[in-house]
A = this chain, B = another copy of it.
């Protein structure tokens, strides 16, 4: 609750605490408080001073390090991208797609992450910087998981020229569609169907780049 703790935002914290450790803890506490506020009250209800108070962090630290709510939400998405699970390597496209579908399902049905994604996506529909941060999040995830597709090409499971980004989007889309639009159950059957449909279409060459 210290206002203006020297260096708290810059990673040069004083005393016995390692600077990196303290900076990381401040970020974690602030992003958690921001996420709570976003889920509870939506984008318009997020207030930096209130986030600082909830996080037990000096207000000036939050203003100096993040400055605005869109920057805070963008950092939250960056943190989610950093901390998401690494890609699977099961040795088959079917196995890898099932693993990724399970990971997405787990995220979207998680009692905290699910509402957080809904809130961030709702915000992104009306706020350019949040939309950009959201799109960056998906690009990071695609980069992380693209090797699954490249390896499937190398193993001869799917045609050369298959676009990894299209495969991963095809797998993700049905689960997001249920969460955001249709409201149909987000369950293991839906994840399994998304993986099966994507695998069949990938084998048939649907995701081969036109270029």
Q: Mark A136-176, 1 if CB is under 8 A from B, else 0.
A: 00100000000000000000000000000110011011101
Chain B contacts for A206, CB-based, 8 A: 193, 196-197, 200
User: What number of A residues sit within 8 Å (CB to CB) of B?
Assistant: 41
Assembly CA distance A198 to B169 (angstroms):
14
State how many angstroms separate the Cβ of A46 from the closest Cβ of chain B: 13
Chain B contacts for A124, CB-based, 8 A: 180
Assembly CA distance A180 to B181 (angstroms):
10
Which B-chain residue is minimally distant from A168 (CB atoms)?
Answer: B182
Chain B contacts for A176, CB-based, 8 A: 173, 176-177, 180-181
Assembly CA distance A183 to B126 (angstroms):
13
Residues of A within 8 A of B (CB): 42, 44, 118-119, 121-126, 131-132, 134-135, 138, 165-166, 169-170, 172-174, 176-178, 180-184, 189, 193, 196-198, 200-201, 204, 206-207, 210
